[in-house]
Structure 1
C-alpha cells in the first residue's frame, strides 16, 4: 500500500491536540508536497527528513510524495513532526510495516544524520497519549519527562535506525523505566531565618492556610522579600494532578529539562516586566509569569514600580484563575491559579514612619507614589500588612515553633479542615460557599456591616474579610466564626 498513517501531537497552549500524518506515494515526477497549515519549521522538515532517511541507508522514494498533517485548520510548528513524517514515508514505501505504527504516537526532531533530538511540550502530549490508549515514542532526552504520565508506555529512542529496527522486529525496544531524576526536590528556605517580625509571620501563616493574597509594606531591609520567599515552604504539597499541571506548563514554556518536581513554583519577575511577559502573549501565545506560577506563588517586589497597565491585567486572573489570550488566528486559555504576594515601600524614599525620621517625602509625592496602585487591584489583595523596622539584634535565637516545619504543620491542619468542609481553600469560596460556611451570629453580622461602612469597604472587601476570618478560625480549629476573628481580619484591610 502506498498510503501510511502515523499519529502525533501538536502543541496549542498547554494542550496537545492529535495530529494525523498521512503519507501517500503516487506515480509522477519526483516531488514532495507538505499540506495542512505548516509553519516555517515544519516546511523545512522535508529537507531534514530526506537527509535523515538517506544517511540511514534507507531508500528515499523517487515518486510524487504528498504529506498531509490533519486536521488541516490547526497550525503546526516546530520540528516535533519530523519523526512521524519520516516513518510515514518509510511505511508508505514498504520499508517498515504500516500495521506496527497504528498503536503508536511519535514525537521528535530529526538531525540530518538520523539522530533524534528533544522537543518541547512532551508532557502534555504524554498525558493525551495515555488517555488515547497509545504507546508514545519520544527522544531519549524527553523520556524521563514523558514517564511522569503514570500508566503510559514510553519508548525512548535516540536514532531513526532504532525505531525502524523496532518496527521491523529486528530489535525490540523495551518500555522506558523511569529513573526518578526529576524528583530531586530542593528544600525550601526556612522561616526561622527571618528574625523578629512576629505580626508579619502570622500574616504569612494566614495567607498560606487560606491561599490568600498578601501585600507587605515597609521600609527597605525589614525582611519583606525574605518573608515572601518562605511562603512556598508553608504550603501543602502538590497532589499528583496539580504536580502534572505545573510540570506540563514548565514543559511547554522551556526547552530546558524539568527540575524540582513536584515542587510549588515561586516566580519573582522584575518590575520592568511587560504585560505579555506577565500574563503571556506573542504571535504564537506562550505562558507568562502568572501561568508559570500556577499552583504556586507570584512575588512582585517593588509593586508601585511596575507599570500600572501591567498590574491591571492581573485583575481578571486573580478572580477567575485563568487567562485567555486572543490573537487574530487563534485563542489560547492558560491556567493561572496563583497566590499573589507583593511588597512595596510606604513612600518613594522608603522611610515613611521610620523612627529615625529620615523620610523627606512630601504628601504629594507620597500620594503620587501610592496612586500607582489602583483601588480594584488592592481590593483583590486579602491581607495588607505593615512590616516595621526591628531593633538590630545579630544572631538572635530562634523561638520554638518559629520554623517552617512547625508553621507548615499548622497550615496543613487548617487546609484539612477546609477540604473536609468545602473541598477548597477559603480564598476560593464563592457567594453560596460564604453563606454556607461563614455564618455569623446576628449581632456579629451587624457589627461587621457597621465596621465595613465606617471603613468604606466595598462588598468584595467585606467578602474577603469573611474569608480571612474563616481561615483564622480554622487555624484555631474553631467551627464557628467569632467577633475576635472578624476584628483581626479587619486589621489586615486597614494597615496601609
Structure 2
C-alpha cells in the first residue's frame, strides 16, 4: 500500500481552483472517509466509489481509506470529485500507478455501475487547470466538447471507470492505448436574430437602439401596449458585434455552470435574456440556498438583459441591479465565501405609462385612479433610471405608418455599429476601455477629451436647472461620443450633444 495522489478542480462562480486529492490506506476496520470541507454530496462519494469499483471488477483496499481534499479550508461542493477520489483510492491500493495519475486532473461523477457521468461547470474547471499548468484532463464523454474549447490541453473523454483504469494499465506497461470514446460533435446553433426591418414606424426608437448598440448604453422605453417596445428590445442583441474569444469563453463558462450547454459549441453571439416580472432576487442577481448559481444578470453577460413590464418587478430586485450596472460584476456573499460572477450587460427597460396602458397623449382613455398613475412608474427608482443613458417615450403606431416604407434591416444597421465600435476601441485602447459606455466621466470632462464650453452648453444648462445629475451629465457625454462615432466625426459637436441630451430627457433638450 502507498499514498495515492491525483488532482481535481473546485469551481466557485466561474473560477476554479486546483484541489489535490490524497488517499491513504491504514490498518484497522474497513472504512472510507473524506475530509477537507466536503458538502453533503461530496461526503457521499465513498458509497458511489465503492459500488462503481466493485461493478467495474476493481478491488479497493479492505482497510481504512482516508481521502483528503487539499486545501482543506476550501469548501468542496458537488459530486464532481468522485472520479478523482476513486483514482486516488485505486492508486493507494496499487491498482493504478501513482506516478501516472499524479499530475492528471480528473473530473466526473460516478454512477453505481461504474459509468462516468456529466457535470456542470467543466469548461471553467478545465480553464483553471490550464492556468495552473496542468495539461492533461480526464472528463466525462458528454463534457468533452466544451472541455476541448480550452487550447493546449489534452482532453481524455472517458465513459466508465473500468475503461479509464485499463487505459492507465496499458500506459504503465507500454502497451498501445485503447481507442477513446468520441462524443457527439459540438455544433453551433444557427443564429437567427429578429430583423429590425420588422419594426413598423418608431423611427426615434430605431435610431436610439442603434446608438445604444454602438456605445453599449442602457435604454428605457415607456409607451402603451402594442407600441413595439418588446419588438425593439428583442432586436438589440442582433445589432451587437460577435463576441471575441475572451468574451465567448466567459459567456460559455456561465452557461456551463448552469448546465445549459448540452452539445453546443462556443457561444459567439451576444445573449438575450428576458426574465419574467415575477422573478425572485436570486434568479435575477444569482444565489441559492446551496450552491450559488448565476442569475439572469450573469446569463446576459456581454449581451442584453431585458426587463419587460419593469414596474411589475419587485422594487428591491430592480435596485439590486444598480451595483452590477456600475461594476460589471455581481458578488454574492455567504458566511464562508464570496462568489463572483461577471455581469457586464446592456439593460433595457420597458414599461406601460400606467397599469391600463392608456395614459398617453391627453390620457382621456385612461381608467386608472390618479394616485395609481402617480405611483406606477415610481416603482422604477430614480437612482436606477439615472444609470440609464437613453430614455424614450413611445407613441402608438398609427394607420398611416403601416404604409410607410420598410426600414433598414438588422444587417445594415449592425454594419454601422461595428464601424462605430472599431472607432471607439481604437481611441480608448491605450486606456483599457472598449466602448464609450465604459469611459469614466472625469476622463471626458478633463484633459485631452474635454469638449469646448460652447459644445457642452446644453448639458451645463440642464445640470444648472436640475434636469440632470452629474451622473446624467457624464452619460450624456458618452452618448454624444457614440453619436459622433456613428457620424464618423472626430469629436462631438453641439448637435451631437443636443441629440444625446434629447435621447435622455426631451424636456431638458428643449
CA distance, structure 2, for counterparts of residue 211 and residue 456 of structure 1: 23
Indicate the residue corresponding to 1:353 in structure 2: 360
CA separation of 1:256 and 1:460: change in aligned 2, threshold 3 A: same
Indicate the residue corresponding to 2:272 in structure 1: 266
Contact 1:109–1:117 under 8 Å retained in 2: yes
Indicate the residue corresponding to 2:315 in structure 1: 308
Indicate the residue corresponding to 2:85 in structure 1: 85
CA separation of 1:494 and 1:363: change in aligned 2, threshold 3 A: farther
Contact 2:10–2:19 under 8 Å retained in 1: yes
Structure 1 gaps, min length 5: none
Indicate the residue corresponding to 1:339 in structure 2: 346
CA distance, structure 1, for counterparts of residue 405 and residue 214 of structure 2: 22
Structure 2 gaps, min length 5: none
Indicate the residue corresponding to 2:95 in structure 1: 95
CA distance, structure 2, for counterparts of residue 258 and residue 355 of structure 1: 54
Indicate the residue corresponding to 2:177 in structure 1: 172
Q: Once the 2 structures are TM-superposed, how far is the Cα of residue 445 of structure 1 from its aligned partner?
A: 2.8
Contact 1:266–1:296 under 8 Å retained in 2: yes
CA separation of 1:337 and 1:392: change in aligned 2, threshold 3 A: same
CA distance, structure 1, for counterparts of residue 214 and residue 184 of structure 2: 34
Give 1:109-124 correspondences, 5 Å limit: 109-124=109-124
Indicate the residue corresponding to 1:35 in structure 2: 35
Higher mean C-alpha displacement, 18-27 vs 167-176: 167-176
Indicate the residue corresponding to 1:67 in structure 2: 67
Please tell me the root mean square deviation across aligned C-alpha atoms, in Å: 2.0
Give 1:109-258 correspondences, 5 Å limit: 109-131=109-131, 132-169=133-170, 172=177, 181-254=186-259, 257=262
CA separation of 1:309 and 1:144: change in aligned 2, threshold 3 A: same
Contact 2:158–2:181 under 8 Å retained in 1: no
Q: TM-score, normalised by structure 1?
A: 0.95
1:333-388 CA deviation, whole Å, 9 max, x = no partner? 11110100010011221112257942233443221112212111110000001121
1:378-437 CA deviation, whole Å, 9 max, x = no partner? 10000001121112369757536x100000000000000000000311111113431356
Indicate the residue corresponding to 2:441 in structure 1: 431
Q: Once the 2 structures are TM-superposed, how far is the Cα of residue 182 of structure 1 from its aligned partner?
A: 3.7
Q: Secondary structure at the match of 2:399?
A: coil
CA distance, structure 1, for counterparts of residue 274 and residue 21 of structure 2: 41
Q: Once the 2 structures are TM-superposed, how far is the Cα of residue 448 of structure 1 from its aligned partner?
A: 2.5
2:440 counterpart of 1:440: no
Q: Secondary structure at the match of 1:299?
A: strand
CA distance, structure 2, for counterparts of residue 163 and residue 254 of structure 1: 24
Indicate the residue corresponding to 1:470 in structure 2: 481
Q: Once the 2 structures are TM-superposed, how far is the Cα of residue 297 of structure 1 from its aligned partner?
A: 0.4
CA distance, structure 2, for counterparts of residue 239 and residue 436 of structure 1: 31
Contact 1:154–1:176 under 8 Å retained in 2: no
Q: Secondary structure at the match of 1:168?
A: helix
Contact 2:38–2:77 under 8 Å retained in 1: yes
Q: Secondary structure at the match of 1:183?
A: coil
Q: Once the 2 structures are TM-superposed, how far is the Cα of residue 446 of structure 1 from its aligned partner?
A: 3.5
2:286 counterpart of 1:280: yes
Q: Once the 2 structures are TM-superposed, how far is the Cα of residue 452 of structure 1 from its aligned partner?
A: 2.6
Higher mean C-alpha displacement, 282-291 vs 412-421: 282-291
Indicate the residue corresponding to 2:54 in structure 1: 54
Q: Secondary structure at the match of 1:340?
A: strand
Higher mean C-alpha displacement, 305-314 vs 426-435: 426-435
Q: Secondary structure at the match of 1:370?
A: helix
Contact 2:325–2:387 under 8 Å retained in 1: yes
Contact 2:229–2:350 under 8 Å retained in 1: yes
CA separation of 1:171 and 1:392: change in aligned 2, threshold 3 A: farther
CA distance, structure 2, for counterparts of residue 355 and residue 115 of structure 1: 68
Q: Once the 2 structures are TM-superposed, how far is the Cα of residue 279 of structure 1 from its aligned partner?
A: 0.7
CA separation of 1:140 and 1:211: change in aligned 2, threshold 3 A: same
Contact 1:195–1:396 under 8 Å retained in 2: no
